[in-house]
Structure 1
Amino acid sequence: MAEKLHPKIDHGLPKESASFSGGTLVCLCTSKPVKVKIKGQIAHNHACGCTKCWKPDGAIFSVVAVTPHENVTVTENGDKLKVVDPSALILRHACTQCGVHMYGPVERDHAFKGLDFIHPERFEEDGWSPPGFAAFVSSVIESGVDPGRMAGIRAQLKAAGLEPYDCLNPVLMDVLATFAAKKSGALPA
């Protein structure tokens, strides 16, 4: 039986459009929804199994991407947003009524500083870059997934075209390691 990984994976990955220049993320509220304008195409979109990211009901994974912080503007009902965990690296701003994480800036000294994490399936528009890999796959066990299901979950991710990693993909791991090496002096800054 197929797992419910995420609606944007289970029903086929969305199609990217070269003409996509951004759009509006909308929370789940039917009255006074929070709206966040995103300028430009997103980057590093992936399925995420961590226990911190917002997931649609019944989904094992979230779908999350990044965009530069300067490309994010709250346009409606920002008074409904609250940071989920002020001590976390990603300051996830969630709607206090429906719970959707609308954007999450990284503000502290980190390789991802200046980026905001978003859930692109909340775009009103189509054409955003689809997920390209799966990260923190083993972490779904921490959310209650039986470890015996993991081989099937990994196989299903691969069949969808998403290479499963138990951390980030190699490109992003290299970014993190380079940042750490420059900070420690092992590489020139």
Structure 2
Amino acid sequence: MNVRLLHPSIQSHVHKCDSDNSGGILVCKCSDKPVRVNVQGGIAHNHACGCTKCWKPTGAAFSVVAVVPTENISVVENSDKLTVVDKTALIQRYACKACGTHMHGPVEREHAFQGLSFIHPELFENDSWPQPTFAAFVSSAIEGGVDPSEMSEIRARFKDLGLEPYDCLSPALMDYVATWTAKKRGALG
């Protein structure tokens, strides 16, 4: 199989490290005065993402992204280099103005994910972050320039890597969103 670059950490095998990750420091790609973000505690729902909003390494069709409680995020160096990419978006992605790397993205408005921040685990200084467990928004990679004729091969590669490909979120996360919505509307207690 000659699949385009999915993401450096999952191209030939799935990054497998510490499933009990206790956080660490995320570092942007700047060689001079990089932004550093401290993540306290573990991360959850690490996955490959094909959406066009997430930051991806050069040449990659997918990002690798996870969530952490926003209260566990703090910028510890060079916060003046951060700017919000799209102030109208649900996820307020803070990116380095110099290198463009997305450092953290809190969900601040009312939503099932309010109180969570999206991060890119490959930015941890250490290599002990939990492996991705699924691929989300796979079809959205087409919107980012992937030829539709490549999608069958991409989905097959994700399955070979043990990452179930979805065109939305994983069933557990979709159930979480639907439960939150049902409770908000009064359909569930």
8 Å CA contact 2:19–2:131 kept in 1: the answer is no
Q: How many residues align?
A: 188
> Where does structure 1 lack aligned partners over 5 or more consecutive residues?
none
Name structure 2 gaps, 5 residues minimum.
none
Matches within 5 A, 1:38-57: 38-57=39-58
Aligned counterparts, 1:7-26, within 5 A: 7-17=8-18, 20-26=21-27
Letter in 1 for 2:51: C
Q: Percent identity?
A: 64
> Where in structure 2 are the equivalents of 1:1-189 lying within 5 Å?
1-17=2-18, 20-188=21-189
CA contact (8 A) 2:83 2:94 kept: yes
Instruction: Output the amino acid matched with 2:177.
Output: L
Cα contact 1:14–1:127 (8 A) shared by 2: no
Kindly state the Cα deviation for residue 18 of structure 1 after the two structures are TM-superposed.
5.5
Instruction: Write the distance in 2 (CA, Å) between the matches of 1:159 and 1:169.
Output: 17
Deviations 1:88-143 (A, max 9, x none): 00000000000000000001111101000000000001211111000000001111
After TM superposition, where is structure 1 displaced by more than 4 Å over at least 4 residues in a row?
none
Please, what TM-score do these two structures have when normalized by structure 1? 0.97
Q: CA RMSD in A?
A: 1.0
CA distance in 2, matches of 1:122, 1:31: 16
Q: 2-side partners of 1:99 and 1:168: how far apart?
A: 25
Q: Secondary structure at the match of 1:180?
A: helix
Amino acid at match of 1:32: K
Give, in whole Å, the separation in 2 of the partners of 1:83 and 1:71: 19
Distance 1:152 1:112 in 2: 31
**Amino acid across the alignment from 1:50:** C
Using the TM superposition, give the Cα deviation of residue 19 of structure 1 relative to its aligned residue in structure 2, in angstroms: 5.8
1:7 is paired with a residue whose SS is: coil
Letter in 2 for 1:145: V
- Contact persistence 2:19–2:130 (CA under 8 A): no
> 2:177, 2:123 → 1: CA distance?
27
